[in-house]
Structure 1
Amino acid sequence: MKKERVINTQRALVAALFLGAVTFGYAQEAAAAQETVANATAQVQTSQQNPAIDALKKKIEANPNDTESLVNLATAYQDAKDWKNALGTWNKISTLLPDWAPSYYSEGYVYQNMKDDANAKTAYEKYIAAVKPEELEASKKNLAYAHLFVAYQLKESNKEQAKQHIAKSLEYDPSNQDALNLSKFLNQ
Structure 2
Amino acid sequence: MKKESVINTKKVLVAALFLGAVSFGYAQTETVASETVANTTAQVQAPQQNSTIETLKKQIEANPNDTESIVKLATAYQDEKDWNGALETWKKMSTLLPDWAPSYYSQAYVYQSMKDDANAKMAYEKYIATVKPAEVEASKKNLGYAHFFVAYKLQETDKEQAKQHIGKSLAYDPMNAEAMKLNEFLKQ
- Same fold by TM-score greater than 0.5: yes
In 2: Cα distance, 1:177 partner to 1:47 partner: 40
Corresponding residue number in structure 1 for 2:162? 162
Corresponding residue number in structure 1 for 2:57? 57
Q: Which runs of 5+ in 2 are unaligned?
A: 1-41
In 1: Cα distance, 2:48 partner to 2:57 partner: 11
In 1: Cα distance, 2:124 partner to 2:162 partner: 14
| 1:148 alignment partner AA | F
In 1: Cα distance, 2:108 partner to 2:176 partner: 19
In 1: Cα distance, 2:125 partner to 2:165 partner: 10
Q: Contact 2:108–2:123 (CA<8 Å) still a contact in 1?
A: yes
Deviation at 1:48, TM superposition (A): 9.6
Q: Which runs of 5+ in 1 are unaligned?
A: 1-41
- Alpha-carbon spacing, 1:183–1:49, altered in 2? closer, same or farther (3 Å): closer
Corresponding residue number in structure 1 for 2:106? 106
CA RMSD of aligned residues (A): 1.7
| Count of aligned pairs between the two proteins | 145
Q: Contact 2:49–2:76 (CA<8 Å) still a contact in 1?
A: no
Deviation at 1:84, TM superposition (A): 0.3
| 2:124 alignment partner AA | Y
Structure 1 segment 50-89 matched on structure 2, within 5 A: 50-89=50-89
Q: Contact 1:47–1:77 (CA<8 Å) still a contact in 2?
A: no
Identity %: 74
2:134 is aligned with 1:134: yes
User: For each residue in 1:60-97, what CA deviation from the matched residue of structure 2 results, as whole angstroms up to 9, or x when unmatched?
Assistant: 01001111100000000001100000000000001000
- Alpha-carbon spacing, 1:99–1:160, altered in 2? closer, same or farther (3 Å): same
Find runs of 4+ consecutive structure 1 residues off by over 3 angstroms: 46-49
